[in-house]
Structure 1
Amino acid sequence: MASFEVKGGAKLRGEIIPQGAKNEALQILCAVLLTPEKVTISNIPDIRDVNKLIDLLRSLGVKTERLAQDTYTFQADDIDINFLDSERFVELGRAIRGSVMIVGPMLARFGKAKMPKPGGDKIGRRRLDTHFTGFEKLGASFQYSAEDDFYTVTSEVLKGAYMLLDEASVTGTANILMAAVLAEGTTTIYNAACEPYVQQLCRMLNRMGAKISGIGSNLLVIEGVEQLGGTEHRMLPDMIEIGSFIGLAAMTGSEITIKDCQIPELGLIPDTFQRLGIKMEFRGDDIFIPEQDRYEVDTYIDGSILNIADHTWPGLTPDLLSVALVVATQAKGTVLVHQKMFESRLFFVDKLIDMGAQIILCDPHRATVIGQNKQIPLRGIRMTSPDIRAGVALLIAALSAEGTSIIDNVEQIDRGYQNIDGRLNALGAQIRRM
């Protein structure tokens, strides 16, 4: 198990380029299974979860070639269906939650897919019902074995159908979408997720020969085609990393320029941090965060306390609530943070309280943060990273704190952030990997 030793209090300065989007990568990489032709993908982040998914694809028989640090070609022209019955598949499939995304493409192209219960962050209940209900509406047969936590779907022919999703699940929408593009007839998905990652997947599939309309809305219409071809695709920058860097700059009083942000794809992320009092300038496609000694939380028109909550797109992504909460601890003012989607994601606040933050955990979904206006800085402690997003929030807290912090289990951070210690050290941070 690796740890970070973090010496807090240093101000950072310089430019940083965000990595490719982790959540987009997990969908896009699985889409290569839909065609026997070559697919070239660039801006792939070099992180643990993505690399494990690439290993899984290789083991299935996908030919991969690394053209550059962030660019691969994939060709799924010789898939080994029998690998789904191997112990190695169970090991790889359980290692990451993103492995569930192979089910839709495998079902569409080969009529069969199996999946062990996937891994991922321990942030509360993350059901998969939406995925498999959608496959059943396309005509697939579904079986779940409680004995070994295995999901199996099979179908001789998938047929288009109308479906109203019970939740606007990003991965559920993407998985069903990838199955529907090769189904007979027309599929209509209502209450579909419309995050930029899903839009990116739709555009990539259309370049491969799919017929998807309604992109960017919550009503997708897919006219099934017989086959898909190869394409080239470049992934968006990671919006979660961009938000993390904005929060980091504010907490450490640093001057940072975040390069190549694809600002129109960020939704409410800049607005949310601006409401926390963080100044920023849009310079073309870059975001400049000036050095700030203080930042003050906005209030509503009637003076009531600001409430920051996650929501389906174009609302604020839940992956940034941990960072927003940490930023609020040193703001002037009070914020109610409402994490609606996951019941365990706020439990990391006990570490922040140990560091000196004033936080009241109201219930598993809500926390009230009383900002200290940088009058009482956080203090360094030893702590453990519980999941990817809480881990980077704790790293931000440690970089702003007085003294030295030790963060254990940083493999969790490595799952979602590429060489985070090296990249931040280049800006002046003092992080040592142990």
Structure 2
Amino acid sequence: MESNKSSKVCEVEGTICEKEVQVLCYHCSKNFCRIHLIQHTQLIEDTIRTKLNLLADKFNELSSRFDDISILDNILKKPFVQLEKWRIEAYEKIDQIVENKRQELNDEFDKYRKIFLTKNEEQLIKINNSKRIIAELIQESDASANQIDDLQRLIDEADKYLSSLITHEINVVATTPIWYVDIDTHLFESQSILTNELQEYKITYVRLNGIIRNYYIKTKKYGKISDLIISFIRKYLLSEEFIQSSQSSMNSINHQPKYDFILPVKVYKKKYLLNFDDNTLLNSILDHDSIVFYETPHSINENDHTDILMPCNFRRQPNKNSFALPIFLNVPRQECRGQHILDALRDSLSKYFPLNSNIDQHQYEVYLQVKINKSLEKTNLNDVLQSEIIFNERPTCLMVDINSQIADIYEQNILERLSF
């Protein structure tokens, strides 16, 4: 408080005081006379004492709560309950897969049994006919060299057939998946925010054989694209088993994605934008961008490989709207001609689209797009079939305009293929 003698009146609350002001209170910025200053000071002290007592009571309460605190049963027991639930569901899924495989084996046995009986009957008919012919020839004591050779050939064929039966097998090709279960901790802030927080990402995986499928993969929210690829590889086989068992279609799963044979790509509105590198941060990928993994025919780490991967986008005729997932064509790095690109395109079109790329050439038009000095040059591929295409680090892609009816069929099919 500060002495502030002036003509101002005392500002005590609840009454009117006309005494000369003696002090300005910095606590409440009011002027007081000497008597009311003493009262005001006492009031402040009482108020502060009350607040301190309340704070002391709260600290005492907190101390008592720490005396009684222990690790929650939810932390100690719930994860084991969840793990046991996962174990039971995994075994149920295994049993379901095994039962489907048993049925598939029985179907194979039935097929084999029918073929086995048919082949045996064919061989026995030939043998009985040969026995009759031999009996006639013995009775006549006469046979030409050709007849003897024919009979010997039939004996060799029957003997070869009987020997082949020993080599027949029906095997179960058991590719052991990596049964992977995540542990997601939400504990102290410094641990969970940057280290353990998981996020689910939608991955579209495009195989070289034309199979396209969506997968939902959990990995570190603040990780890199390399973490997402590793998580995808770990969970691929298990996901395939689940998908195929749910469809009652237990085809042999003989494909295992390999890290070096996956090209991670950003796709926006059905257009290829760029390749992700291993260090791309996952939280930098925008929600409207699609993450697409492409199976490649050679390791993407082979920088000196004789072939390169050329992106190929698709548009619907006649409105030129983008549709379909982009694909990648495997073309020669050196001495590549337009015909090489067209051949690679035709090979791929028959896998991804409902058309015969050789017969239905009138159903699509192909353009080569090359970026030179920030400008895009577009050339009809038919005009450069015999010309050498020099890539020389210039961004080059293919644009294919496809008949609208073909596009409609593709979009209907892709909805069925991706609805997992």
Instruction: Give TM-score, length-normalised by structure 2.
Output: 0.22
Q: How does the TM-score come out when normalised to structure 1?
A: 0.21
Structure having the higher helix fraction is 2
Query: Which gives a bigger RCO, structure 1 or 2 (Cα 8 Å, sep 6+)?
Result: 1
